[in-house]
Structure 1
Amino acid sequence: MTFRPLLALLMALSVTVTASAQSAADLGASKPRKESTLPLLPTASEADAALISAHLLTRFHYDAQPLDDAMSQKIYTLYFKLLDGEKVFFTQQDMAKFAQDKDKFGNAIWNKDLSAPFDVFNQYVLRAIDRMNYARGLLKQGFDFNTNDTYNVDRKNADWPKDQAELNDLWRKRTMNDWLRLKLAGKSDDEIRKTLDKRYAGYIDRVKQLDSEDAFQTFMTAYANSTDPHTDYLGPREAENFDIQMKLSLEGIGAVLQARDDYTQIRELVPAGPASKSGKVHVGDLVLGVGQGATGPIVDVVGWRLDDVVNLIRGKKDTTVRLEIVPADQGQDGKHEMISLVRQKVAIEEQAAKKKVIEVTDGGVTRKIGVIELPMFYSDFGARSEGDKNFKSATRDVAKLLGELKAEGVQGVVMDLRNNGGGSLYEANELTGLFIDQGPVVQVRDARGQVQVQGDDDPGMAWSGPLAVLVNRGTASASEIFSAAIQDYSRGLVIGTPTFGKGTVQTLIDLDRFASDPTTKPNYGALKMTVQEFFRINGGSTQLRGVTPDISYPNNGDEKDFGESTYDNALPWTQIAPADYKPVADMKAYLTQLDQLHDARGAKSPAWQLMLDELAQYKKLSDRTTISLNFAQRETERKQLDALQADFRARHKAIDGADSAQADADAQLDDGLNPSERSLKTELKEQADAKKAPDPQLQETAHILFDAVGLINANPKLAAEVLPYGGKQGNSASMAAVAGATPLPTQNSAGQSGGASRAPAAASSSGH
């Protein structure tokens, strides 16, 4: 989703940002933002960018709406939701004063006078600093935890505090809860006071670093998101990062940075990147200064915003950057070292497609099931258009992995699209072509009502054996196109929970193209604008409703807060005429049998029952809206929860082994700390443990395919019904895969899957 409260930005500035990025350093704008000067004022370029965006949104948006008083009120409402969504900074008295601007934001854009939204932002900065200072003052006197006070932890539907007295009482309770969490974790009063004072002081530092670009970004996000949930304004840096995310490649040093107090710390090294290959940069190192080229001056970056440090380290391929660091093992007062690195093109493999093989054994029979995890539908259209033979593409990568899985003798394939928020519409179409012979994949309707059918024109399949697509609520947009096409063709089984429900297509527009003087470099940013709606080939839409799985898994309860249906201004569900297509198989021929086998297995599976119990506990905790601030009551609740988690750990140990139980223990106990307050070693261990944690849903999906292969092997008539095209096209590949042999390569090779001859569309079906 595009909704980003400003609090999330402030937290991000203290956690992690990748420094392996593509553009560098015009260093004129790279001065430190240790503290901005109030009041923040809009620039002429920002006013121009807002006006250009308004012209585009009111004329070319899929659901174009005038920028009038009604839209101004929508922007006003969302602007305050972004600034103060928890209603903890402003009072009702403040809001009464702000209300005079409720219908003026539209005119502010048309008149290129952004003073009104900037005035609000300046007031937010002052209030945020004031509230943190108030909380710091409360720490000096401590708290009485023998009262019956309660704290509302879910304030999205709360009113703003009536007046300053009510606001102070709210912050007393917020600060009490922060203290109580640390106290329950065993911290002494002195430790708690020190931890919280440092936390609140750090928040003040980050708020003081907010600048005009942040104010403008927040205001334009409110405008863009008011047109529909997936239209968004991207400031210059966000546009750059979006481009990197889509390409999964960049030019830089290959390091991930995070803020740690006033310092920038190396959190991770990208394999084969310049930093890693140098052997001189290590996880945990502190970056104190950055210099450009072999002789450029070293800029002291202590106390800088993290994204400003990243901006200094970014740069073009084959250029030099110098880092002044303190090695991780020497602490902040250690000997400084100077390291020179040459920036190179770096692949971001973390978001690339990955494979593994799961061996499922049941009834004395073992079968190999291949799994491809695809976090997003990425594509480097720029490199492709330039003729780069190694351009990054989700379809190319998946085709390669399918070939490797076939060589390993898998008998079924799971496409794991859980939490895949989308990406390129073109890639979703191409990827579907790996699993069907030829035919339409998706229908796209523009603002004029014209419908275009996109599909796979190339014959052949990269995989023609049993297929499952694993989805959840985080499966959105391009992922829903793929899942819906597989379901409509009855090409495979869709398994999991209902998907997000995003059925719109966005295009990214570089606003610099509209500069009045083409010789200038205004750096207006970009507009990610909804321009089309996509429909399934059966004529239905994924909008609002998402894709309903053929075999359903239990929900985790997040659907009430997460998904297209939670947006007030989401487009309605509609349908159009179906495309000209025919299902290639009939999953219903054995769906009932597979569902029954799944239910029977789940009923007696300790791992599945444990997952259900943990989900139930998660829902119970997440449904709470208020918590007690009485120490004795919270301690009793903590002991009850610890006992329940101890039972969960014991069950995990019995099922998965001791390592899993310990990982579960580390992840579950509340230490009262924010992520940046834990040691880097602890953070990295938690991250590694999470990756190694058992995955009952994936295991069960593999087992369902195990069952499918068994039913196919036992019944040739059924095989003809459920294998694509009756097993006649690509039949040797299908039957060899089911039998576990290694078939000959199919006609599809990497980069030549369906429709590869067509020019890539500029649009993306980017995720929420």
Structure 2
Amino acid sequence: MRFRPALALLFALTLTAAHAQSAPDAAAGGEAPRAASTLPLKPTDPQADAAQLSARFLTRFHYDAKPLDDAMSQRIYKAYVDLLDGEKVFFTQADMDKFAPLKTRLDDAIWNRDLSGPFAMFNLYVQRAVDRMSYARALVRQGFDLSRDESYTFDRKDAAWPKDQAELDDLWRKRTKNDWLRLKLAGKNDEDIRKTLDRRYANYIERVKQLDGEDAFQTFMTAYAETTDPHTDYLGPRQAENFDISMKLSLEGIGAVLQQREEYIQVREVVPAGPAAKSGKIHVGDRIAAVGQGASGPMVDVIGWRVDDVVKLIRGKKGTTVRLEILPADVGLDGKHELVTLVRQKVSIEEQAAKKKVIEIDDGGVKRKIGVIDLPTFYSDFGARRDGDQNYKSATRDVARLLGELKQEGVQGVIVDLRNNGGGSLDEANELTGLFIDQGPVVQVRKANGEVDAQGDEQPGMAWSGPLAVLVNRGSASASEIFAAAIQDYGRGLIIGQPTFGKGTVQNLVDLDRFAQNDGEKPQLGELKMTIAEFFRINGGSTQLKGVTPDIQFPKNGDEKDFGESTYDNALAWTQIAPADYKPVADLKAYLPQLQAAHDARVAKSPAWKLMLDELAQYRKMRDQTTISLNFAQREAERKQLDAIQADFRARHKAIDGTVADDAGPTLDDGLNANERSLKSELKQEDEAKKANDPQLQETAHILFDAIGLIKADPKLAAEVLPYGGKDMAWAQPREAAAPTASH
């Protein structure tokens, strides 16, 4: 995932920090937070070292190494400006003129270990952001003329820079007026609107002031890394630690998901079986007022702190103690605080782990069970595996276990749902494919020197040899594409959904501290996630740019012009190499036309599918809008039209889903930002979204249902579309006759 621009970083800290999980700390008892930032921010010697060391790696060992020269400097400059102010709402043309000399000097800044120029740009960004929010607060006190006939263009990525302060002021007048209008249309009175917006902008100013040199350096290095190629990234010490947690799906802490809401850090989720859950004293909605280390360490007031700084205090090694001063969810701000003492333990993050469920399809009096494995990411605890831990966390191990359970439940087909799975471990993609094929190559990897290595499954046997479908969409990338491509090339299963992302490159993590002279053990320089190779399908083609094209395609949502490898101007070109030595195990062309025809006929008369298409059309219409009226009467009329459309959608959802609540489905804009809504209502909406009908998954299950019917009715067809020539039909037998899971 790409690093957010500085503006979006602010919103991540203030609005959507829900997924900042408590994570293991480098020190046993937690660490003090970074000092509050004071302008001007200045680069440190370790940051200068990290930048120069990164440049040495990127210019020598990157898969498509490019020199760090004046040409690269100009590209870094453009990327850095886009990260700081991509919407052109803080800087003016005069500011850009002032920055212009840096266009060809950023290479020198890195090589000479002088980052004063990039930091000067970041400092001005901070100053401008505070100025703009202060100006917006002044506008709110005055109010607005809502009868004026004018419009606001909110999509400004292709706009010109405001030529002067007056033009910038007018832009912010319109931005602030639009914020006011949104709340007005949601039914708020003027006084409530004034209070809400003033608090919003004041909180934003506080968050801006908390940006520090680490944020400045991270943003600049992101610009450099991603200028090299879209998937090369610099990870500062904190980002590197969080990346490690996301791969191994475990941490040492208290087991709570925290979120910034106003000036408090609030508990958004209590992880089952973690120390917080076992204590019975930590609940969703509780606010953290102070944190203390050990049994008697001083309590540190954390009200108003950044969420990542609070998380860092709560992190710590297994077996150490942390004390939390809690303001319970069910009391007001003046309520009684409670002190909770917890011992940190290893906690599994199950939210991103593989999960299963069974869909029962009843069509024409025939009932079949279809197993579904939802895999959000290709995770692996590399460290635990390297250390010989027999219980290390792994996507392949979890999926193998789930397949065994699904067999015991008597499923006759399996869907692997990889929608929005952005990838992860290349080894896991390789090993996971091995659960569904006997033996053979899975992927080819070409290094920068042109050497090609075929990697594959060497273990005989399959964990699942029956009918298989892989559900993908535009968000399925990297390792997901390796898996889907291999299944498709072997003819092992149906690929269903939308064309995938198109990421065909391999990255490796370089721990920069290993190559520097650090005085202590504390990480200082961070890590470089660098592209070192390109992977190819076993048929010789690449998933780069083109992705994987499904055998049966579902409607696109229109995001492909803004999301995917093809949207990057520095993406590697598509190419191909010689095929690997492999032999397809089946030929799905034998029944694809029949499955496609049945699919087309079914969705043509499906109310759920028609509703999905109508909602997609409405989404595309709203997404393509770049300008909005600032006239209240016109906006009110537009809102009534939208209300009618969404009311129709809700009614249709209820008719289809049956048990879905009246307020499920699309809702009108309430004018609030995420952290301004009640946590209870936010969690309720998320829970309802999870329960809502999933027409694409249901249709995939129907397609697999059809495939099973065709296979069981025609032994000759089964011999063509199944591995082993259709001889292994254990999946089609009653549950008690199910074959045991192969060892993988």
TM-score scaled by length of structure 1? 0.95
Provide the secondary structure at the position in 2 that maps to 1:598: helix
The alpha-carbon deviation at position 166 of structure 1 amounts to 1.1
Aligned to 2:8, the other structure's residue is in SS state helix
Deviation at 1:292, TM superposition (A): 0.8
| 1:146-203 CA-partner distances (Å, limit 9, x unpaired) | 2221111211111111111111111111111111111110000111111111111111
Amino acid in structure 1 at the alignment position of 2:135 = Y
State the partner residue of 2:735. 741
**Residues 380 and 29 (structure 1), Cα distance of their counterparts in 2 relative to 1, 3 Å cut:** closer
Counterpart-to-counterpart distance in 2, 1:720 and 1:662: 49
> Does the 8 Å CA contact 1:13/1:206 hold for their aligned counterparts?
yes
Would the alpha carbon gap of residues 306 and 25 (structure 1) be closer, same or farther in structure 2, given more than 3 Å must change? Answer: farther
Secondary structure of the equivalent of 1:367?
Answer: strand
Displacement of 1:743 after TM fit?
Answer: 4.1
Q: 1:385 to 1:32 in 2, by over 3 A?
A: closer
The CA distance in 2 between the partners of 1:51 and 1:693, in whole Å, is 50
Question: Contact conserved, 2:183 with 2:672, CA < 8 A, in 1?
Answer: yes
Structure 1 residues 515, 705: closer, same or farther in 2, change over 3 A? same
Aligned residues: 742
In 2, the alpha carbon distance for the partners of 1:649 and 1:686 equals: 14
Aligned-residue offset at 1:679:
0.5
CA displacement at 1:715 relative to structure 2:
0.7
Give the Cα–Cα distance (whole angstroms) in 1 for the partners of residues 241 and 403 of structure 2.
32
Counterpart amino acid of residue 686 in structure 1: Q
Contact 1:19 / 1:255 at 8 angstroms: preserved in 2? yes
| Structure 2 CA distance for aligned equivalents of residues 740 and 541 of structure 1 | 41
Q: Do 1:286 and 1:332's aligned partners in 2 also have CA atoms closer than 8 Å?
A: no
| Letter matched to residue 694 of structure 1 | N
What is residue 714 of structure 2 aligned with on the other side? 715
In structure 2, C-alpha distance between the alignment counterparts of 1:362 and 1:747, rounded to whole Å = 29
| Paired AA for residue 732 in structure 2 | V
Residues 464 and 724 of structure 1 are in contact (CA less than 8 Å); yes or no, is this contact kept in structure 2? Answer: yes
Match of 1:195 in 2: 196
Which aligned pairs between 1:92-107 and structure 2 lie closer than 5 A?
92-107=93-108
SS of 2:330's partner is helix
What residue is the counterpart of 1:681 in the other structure?
Answer: 680
How far the C-alpha of 1:748 sits from its partner, in A, is 2.3
In the superposition, relative to structure 1, how do residues 470 and 522 fare at CA in structure 2: closer, same or farther (>3 Å)?
closer
2:80–2:220 contact (8 Å) kept in structure 1: yes
The reply on whether 1:145 has 2:146 as its aligned counterpart is: yes
How do 1:292-331 and structure 2 match up within 5 A? 292-331=293-332
Alpha carbons of structure 1 residues 28 and 337: separation in structure 2 relative to 1, 3 Å: closer
Number of the residue aligned with 2:696: 697
CA distance in 1, matches of 2:741, 2:303: 56
Residue 760 of structure 1 aligns with which residue?
none
Q: CA deviation at 1:398?
A: 0.2
Per-residue CA deviations over 1:589-615 (Å, capped at 9, x if unaligned) read 000100000000000011111111111
1:356 corresponds in structure 2 to: 357
Residues 644-692 of structure 1, C-alpha deviations (whole Å, 9 max, x = no match): 111111111111125254211xx42210100100011111111111111
In the TM superposition, residue 59 of structure 1 has moved relative to its aligned partner by: 0.5
The 1:742/1:220 distance shift into structure 2, 3 A limit, reads farther
Residue 763 of structure 1 corresponds to none
Cα shift at 1:4: 1.5
The separation in 1 between residues aligned to 2:312 and 2:654, in whole angstroms, is 45
What's 1:273 paired with? 274
Matches for 1:43-122 after TM superposition, within 5 Å? 43-122=44-123
CA contact (8 A) 1:19 1:313 kept: no
Matched, 1:633 2:634: yes
1:330-479 paired onto structure 2 within 5 Å: 330-479=331-480
Instruction: Provide closer, same or farther for how the CA distance between residues 696 and 594 of structure 1 changes in structure 2, counting only shifts above 3 A.
Output: same
Q: How much does 1:519 deviate? A: 5.3
The residue aligned with 1:223 is 224
Q: Take 2:27 and 2:438, find their aligned partners in 1: how far apart are those partners?
A: 48
SS in 1 for 2:356: strand
Structure 2 counterpart of 1:20, which letter?
S
Following the alignment from structure 1 to structure 2, what is the Cα–Cα distance between the partners of residues 675 and 558?
A: 23
| Contact 1:264–1:306, Cα closer than 8 Å, also in 2 | yes
| Deviation (angstroms), 1:31 | 3.8
Deviations 1:539-595 (A, max 9, x none): 000000100000000011111110000001001001000001111001110001000
Q: Cα offset for 1:18?
A: 3.2
Cα distance in structure 2, aligned partners of 1:69 and 1:574: 29
CA distance in 1, matches of 2:29, 2:249: 25
Contact 1:736 1:742 in 2 (8 A): no
Q: State the Cα distance separating 1:380 from its structure 2 match.
A: 0.4
1:516 Cα deviation from its structure 2 partner: 2.5
Cα shift at 1:713: 1.0
Q: Matched residues in 1 for 2:662 and 2:599: separation?
A: 26
The secondary structure found in structure 2 opposite 1:13 is helix
CA drift of 1:745 comes to 4.2
Deviation track 1:328-369 (CA, whole Å, cap 9, x = no partner) reads 111221111111100000000000000000001110111100
**Structure-2 change in CA distance of 1:94 and 1:598 (3 Å):** same
Tell me how far apart the structure 2 counterparts of residues 273 and 523 of structure 1 sit (CA, whole Å).
Answer: 30
Partner residue, 1:764: none
Letter in 2 for 1:683: E
Deviations 1:84-111 (A, max 9, x none): 0111000111111111111111100100
Cα deviation 1:405-438 (Å, max 9, x = unaligned): 0000001000000000000000000000000000
Whichever residue aligns with residue 93 of structure 1, its letter is A
1: CA distance, partners of 2:250 / 2:28:
21
Asked whether the equivalents of residues 293 and 322 of structure 1 are also in contact (C-alpha less than 8 Å), the reply is yes
Structure 2 partner of 1:756: none
Cα distance in 2 for partners of 1:737, 1:638 equals: 53
Runs of 4+ residues over 6 Å off in structure 1? none
What is the CA-CA distance between 1:209 and the residue it aligns to? 0.2
* 3-state SS, counterpart of residue 699 of structure 2: helix
Aligned counterparts of 2:633 and 2:80: Cα–Cα separation in 1:
40
3-state DSSP class of the match of 1:659?
A: coil
Instruction: Tell me if structure 1 keeps the 8 A contact 2:30–2:316.
Output: no
Listed one character per residue, the Cα deviations across residues 198-221 of structure 1 (whole Å, up to 9, x for unaligned) are 111111000000000000000000
Question: 1:288-327, CA deviations, whole angstroms, 9 ceiling, x for partnerless residues?
Answer: 1111111111111111111000000000001111111111
Deviation, 1:741, is 3.3
Q: Secondary structure of the residue that 2:599 maps to in structure 1?
A: helix
Once the two structures are TM-superposed, the CA of residue 736 in structure 1 deviates from its matched residue by 2.7
> Which is further off, 158-167 or 701-710?
158-167
1:762 aligns to what? none
Q: CA deviation at 1:738?
A: 2.7
Q: In 2, distance between residues paired with 1:747 and 1:126?
A: 61
* C-alpha contact 1:466 1:705 (8 A) present in aligned 2: yes
Q: Secondary structure at the match of 1:113?
A: coil
Contact 1:466 1:738 in 2 (8 A): no
- Tell me, yes or no, if the aligned pair for 2:29 and 2:294 is still in contact at 8 Å: no
C-alpha separation in 2, matches of 1:464 and 1:128:
58
Distance 1:535 1:274 in 2: 44
Q: 1:519 and 1:21, CA in 2 relative to 1: closer, same or farther beyond 3 A?
A: closer
Deviation at 1:17, TM superposition (A): 4.1
Match of 1:709, SS state, is helix
1-structure distance, mates of 2:380, 2:521: 30
CA deviation after TM superposition for structure 1 residue 742, in Å: 4.2
Structure 2 Cα separation of the partners of residues 17 and 456 of structure 1: 35
User: Conserved in 2, the CA contact under 8 Å of 1:497 and 1:554?
Assistant: yes
Distance 1:273 1:566 in 2: 41
CA distance in 1, matches of 2:191, 2:262: 19
Stretches of structure 2 that go unaligned for 5 or more consecutive residues are none
Distance in 2 (alpha carbons) for counterparts of 1:747 and 1:376: 23
Residue 177 of structure 1 aligns with which residue? 178
Superposed displacement of residue 253, structure 1? 0.2
> Any residues of structure 2 matched to 1:234-273 within 5 Å, and which?
234-273=235-274
Rate the CA distance shift 1:660–1:497 in 2: closer, same or farther, 3 A. Answer: farther
Deviations 1:115-156 (A, max 9, x none): 000000000000000010111111111111222211112111
SS of corresponding position for 1:463: coil
